[in-house]
Amino acid sequence: VHALVTDLLAGSTRAAARVMRAVDDRLPGYETLLEQVFPHTGTAAVIGITGSPGAGKSTLVDRLIDRFRLRGKVGVVAIDPTSPFSSGAILGDRIRMQRHFGDADVFIRSLATRGALGGLSRAAADTARVLEAWGAGVVLLETVGVGQDEIDVSRVAASNVVVTTPGLGDDIQAIKAGILECADVFVVNKADRDGADVTVRDLEAMLALGQSVTETRRGHAPALPLETKAPEPELWRVPVLKTIATRDEGLDAVLDALDAHRSWLATTAEGARRLRARIEHELVSQLSAGLIYDALSELSQAIRDSVTAIQEKRSDPYCARRELAAAFEARRRIDPLGE
Ligand SMILES: Nc1nc2c(ncn2[C@@H]2O[C@H](COP(=O)(O)OP(=O)(O)OP(=O)(O)O)[C@@H](O)[C@H]2O)c(=O)[nH]1
Ligand SMILES: [Mg+2]
């Protein structure tokens, strides 16, 4: 085992920062570090906090740190999709957790959006694991749930809190479209503003609809006629909770809901199924990103030639696609002979 990993496992903050930098910069051997970290992961609670810009995610995370901190070390991964710069830097006042920067048992890491497909969720998963190996019993992932890349990040978390605010009718449309499926707990923050109860009712109505659709699709309902004695499907009822993060109100209920969701995951067949689905999603998405990258780099010259040919009407996209796929296949076949 690498000395850096030994120090990391002993709880060294310096070692954690160095491992994260090595992973970020893809330094030689970074994957070996991650391989050695992996066996020491899998028991921390990884919690996603997603929602529209300015909904109060960072303020909520700050309050949750206060509470989780009483149980041990806490890791935070703050993802800023608007920053094109590389990760690691503290992203200024967008992050409202400065109170915790002096705390040796709270590690806050910022990640910026990567260009590469799936790069952000991979970085988030790797960072969460390093934080767990460092000793964090809880890792909080803050993301703005706007793009596909950010929604993918929510698949890294075992439990997801979706944060919204009163009076955002359009917001609810966006939630319907994208993040309804991944919400385990809804929070209506800024409940000091008008319309919080209306938003709670809207969300509950939407969830009631969504839930029956999900049940049908998963085959839980309707029950087969002969299985009348089958146990109730182990459904998780998504709670909708009101908070005023700036006044630290409503946060205990959020904590309770997260604890309940965690034990639901650990004790039900549906929880086990979700864990397996997360592992599979990570493996398949990283594998496909890698395979596509390899294939496209191998074919890059042929692709450029085809683009020219299509432009000059010597070829068409359909024919070119078949030819490129065939060329890739042919290269694979001659590879073992040592090109
Ligand atoms: N009135 C009110 N304001 C709040 C509440 N929670 C947060 N805010 C304010 O809302 C603003 C945005 O809060 P943040 O916590 O930075 O929100 P965010 O979702 O992390 O924002 P981004 O990371 O920029 O997307 C800040 O000015 C907060 O003080 C609340 O419960 N009530
Ligand atoms: Mg924020």
Strands (E), the chain: 45-51, 74-80, 106-112, 138-144, 159-164, 185-188, 240-242
Higher-confidence residue of 85 and 244: namely 244
Residue 338's region, left for phi above 0, alpha for psi from -120 to 50, else beta, is left
Q: Which of 49, 52, 58 to probe ligand 1 with, by most ligand atoms within 8 A of CB? A: 58
Q: Using a pLDDT cut of 70, give the percent of the chain over it.
A: 77
| Amino acid at residue number 317 | P
Three-state SS at 241: strand
Task: Count the alpha carbons within 13 Å of 137 in the hemisphere toward its beta carbon.
Answer: 11
CB of 98 closer than 6 angstroms to any ligand 1 atom: no
| Amino acid at residue number 100 | H
Per-residue pLDDT, 336: 47
**Backbone Cα Rg of the chain:** 23
Q: Which of 41, 60, 67 is CA-nearest to residue 259?
A: 67
pTM of the predicted protein model: 0.84
CB of 196 closer than 6 angstroms to any ligand 1 atom: no
pLDDT at 64 over 90: yes
If you measure from the C-alpha of residue 246 to the centroid of ligand 1, how many angstroms do you get, rounded to a whole number? 8
Confidence band (pLDDT; 50, 70, 90) for 293? confident
Per-residue pLDDT, 205: 86
State how far the Cα of 280 lies from the Cα of 269, in Å rounded to an integer.
16
